[in-house]
Structure 1
Amino acid sequence: MTFGSSVEVQGKLIKSPHKKQNVELVAENIRVVGPCDVLAFPLKYKTHQSLEYLRQFPHFRCRSNSLGALLRIRSEATAAIHAFFKDNGYMHIHTPIITSNDCEGAGEVFHVEHANEEKEPGENPHFFNVPAFLTVSGQLHLEVMAGAFTKVFTFGPTFRADNSQSRKHLAEFYMVEAELSFTESLQDIMQVMEDLFKKVTEVVLSKCPRDVELFHKHVAPGQEAKLEQMLKNQFITMSYTEAIDVLKRAHQVFTYTPEWGQDLQSEHERYLVQHCGEIPVFVFNYPYDLKPFYMRDNEDGVHHTVAAVDLLVPGVGELCGGSLREDRLDFLKPRLQRLGLEDIYHWYLELRQFGSTPHGGFGMGFERYLRCILGVENIKDVIPFPRFPRSCVF
């Protein structure tokens, strides 16, 4: 029998002397079902293969110890996320993958069109009669549902046409998004973010101790202590204005000079987390002009801000982003008019016109979460089949 072979094992379970394992299988009969050529098979038995090396074999890497552990952790984390929201009174909603709305407004979207259909002269060229995209977020659809069910969430694939080969980007990734009605406080949103992170992580550590240990021991030594620090401390909060002040006082030269009104760069996020002792930090109340149209205007005079918040975590940077939503029609309509979006988002205005409530929500990148708790540097190593520019093997 060689590493990679498919085998059928018959035997019995007995109590194990090992502390971390209750029972073990003692084989009485082994039959090779699918033989494997050990010399040709790219994964070698008892040989360390880096995550980068395994990335070359997306059809085999799930058989390795590291990816096997990762996929078990993903499964348990997925179940824990659903359990967290169910236990807290949220309804799960399947938001669409194909949409006519670019939620973020950044333009980094995949267009959806019928490849082969011939059109008659004068016929609408679009399959759906309007331009359609692969979703970048389920938020707007969740806002619709929150008006009926108060607390809702979705957990599914999202897509960004960001032409980047960096260790932080994927073209297809998974997002956890939640929306809750009857809240006028960013603190409510931040509390759900923190509770979600800590509860799901506790479940993963409880259900998959040996799998998590594999990453903390062989992939990211020292990550166990960092994770313990994150779980035992209350997350820190600071305003965007305070964050800019901290960055300006830093005894460090940044590639991008921190200035009020400019977005925080990755180097800024890393420094802020380090400044806070490697404890996750909420940065809230961002400049009005930096954020999308749906974020609530704080009406705060000199520093015009919106009620937005990002959660920054060690090793990753931004993990979650959220806000209170602008529920006031007289604030939202003029902003959409200035942006030339009033016609496209007429239905969004109608949500405010016909029985709106103060509400807010957030999104958490699932792969970023896994990177954070496991200490994995490259996001391509925490998803079963990574999709990124010039790579879609099968």
Structure 2
Amino acid sequence: MTVRGLENFFKLKAFTQVFTFGPTFRAENSQSRRHLAEFYMVEAEISFLESLQDLMQVMESLFKTTAMTVLSNCPKDVELCHKFLAPGQKDRLEHMLKNNFLIISYTEAVEILKQASQNFTFTPEWGADLHTEHEKYLVKHCGDIPVFVINYPLVLKPFYMRDNEDGPQHTVAAVDLLVPGVGELFGGSLREERYHLLEQQLARLGLTEAYQWYLDLRRFGSVPHGGFGMGFERYLQCILGIDNIKDVIPFPRFTHSCLL
């Protein structure tokens, strides 16, 4: 959860649905076609949210409604990109918009990857992160339809994601939306509002002192809630078919190139 995401939580005290849209900064030294050091992100937080299904409905609606609005208001610009930069993207985008997004669990995703005939640079294993090559394969395997991957291992996700309390597997109610050509576009989860479980998780990670203020926010109770973030430049990559994220932002800032 970013600083802006935390601001959203505070706003939930007064409003049930809040969002922000603005610059976000990435600390990792990521050198790829889908990472920037500074990018824009839509972050949303929703109160009284008790299921991933409800959260995924909001995510799918946001993607489709926004895409249809762009197609309606900027048809010539989109057509220019599809004609000269991404032939075939128009059909792929229409295919995404007219179909319901698919849902698979992280466990199912790993099994699909293990059975793939393709050789991956990173061997897929339960308990390991999904890499870009895995994400893109999963989307192709699902017929080039965006796919939600849910219920990730607890050890892979931040402390604030809601514990599924599902025994040995120990997963959290997290969800990533994978889209054609890009991989992960949305990332979200239900948030852990149960004080004792949040306290246990912070203690396990040795973060209790650093995040005492976060615990205090929930000491006297909270409501079920969840939220997500969507990278705006990756969204543009997806609907326009642009291969490199640096080509969808006017002044790209990436590692070792962050000039004002």
TM-score, normalization: structure 1?
Answer: 0.64
2:10 to 136, 144, 161: 144
> What secondary structure sits across from 1:321 in the alignment?
strand
Specify the alignment match of 2:194 in structure 1.
328
More helix by share: 2
For these two proteins, the number of residue pairs brought into alignment is: 260
Specify the alignment match of 2:131 in structure 1.
265
Specify the alignment match of 2:228 in structure 1.
362
- Give, in angstroms, the shift of residue 383 of structure 1: 0.8
Q: Is 2:177 the partner of 1:317?
A: no
Letter of the 1:380 counterpart? K
- Give, in angstroms, the shift of residue 156 of structure 1: 0.6
In the aligned structure 2, how far is the partner of 1:166 from the partner of 1:144? 34
> What secondary structure sits across from 1:302 in the alignment?
helix
- Give, in angstroms, the shift of residue 145 of structure 1: 1.5
Looking at CA atoms only, which structure, 1 or 2, has the larger radius of gyration?
1
Specify the alignment match of 1:208 in structure 2.
74
> What secondary structure sits across from 1:148 in the alignment?
coil
- Give, in angstroms, the shift of residue 140 of structure 1: 2.0
Q: 1:244-323 alignment to 2 at 5 Å?
A: 244-323=110-189
In the aligned structure 2, how far is the partner of 1:181 from the partner of 1:393? 39
1:156 to 22, 45, 54: 22
4+ residue segments displaced more than 3 Å? none
Task: After superposition, give the CA deviation of every residue in 1:48-67 in whole Å (9 maximum; x if it has no partner).
Answer: xxxxxxxxxxxxxxxxxxxx
> What secondary structure sits across from 1:188 in the alignment?
helix
Q: Which has the higher contact order (CA 8 A, sep 6+)?
A: 2
Indicate if the aligned counterparts of 1:215 and 1:375 stay in contact, CA closer than 8 A: yes
What is the percentage of aligned positions where both structures have the same residue?
70
In the aligned structure 2, how far is the partner of 1:176 from the partner of 1:255? 31
- Give, in angstroms, the shift of residue 393 of structure 1: 4.3
- Give, in angstroms, the shift of residue 248 of structure 1: 1.1
Specify the alignment match of 2:49 in structure 1.
183
In structure 1, list runs of 5 or more residues that go unmatched: 1-102, 104-135
In structure 2, list runs of 5 or more residues that go unmatched: none
In the aligned structure 1, how far is the partner of 2:27 from the partner of 2:192? 27
Indicate if the aligned counterparts of 2:139 and 2:179 stay in contact, CA closer than 8 A: yes
> What secondary structure sits across from 1:180 in the alignment?
strand
> What secondary structure sits across from 2:14 in the alignment?
helix
In the aligned structure 2, how far is the partner of 1:137 from the partner of 1:379? 23
In the aligned structure 1, how far is the partner of 2:165 from the partner of 2:141? 30
Indicate if the aligned counterparts of 2:195 and 2:221 stay in contact, CA closer than 8 A: no
Indicate if the aligned counterparts of 1:137 and 1:158 stay in contact, CA closer than 8 A: no
In the aligned structure 2, how far is the partner of 1:200 from the partner of 1:246? 31
In the aligned structure 1, how far is the partner of 2:44 from the partner of 2:145? 23
In the aligned structure 1, how far is the partner of 2:17 from the partner of 2:46? 4
Indicate if the aligned counterparts of 1:147 and 1:356 stay in contact, CA closer than 8 A: no
1:382 to 230, 236, 248: 248
- Give, in angstroms, the shift of residue 251 of structure 1: 1.4
Q: Is 2:177 the partner of 1:347?
A: no
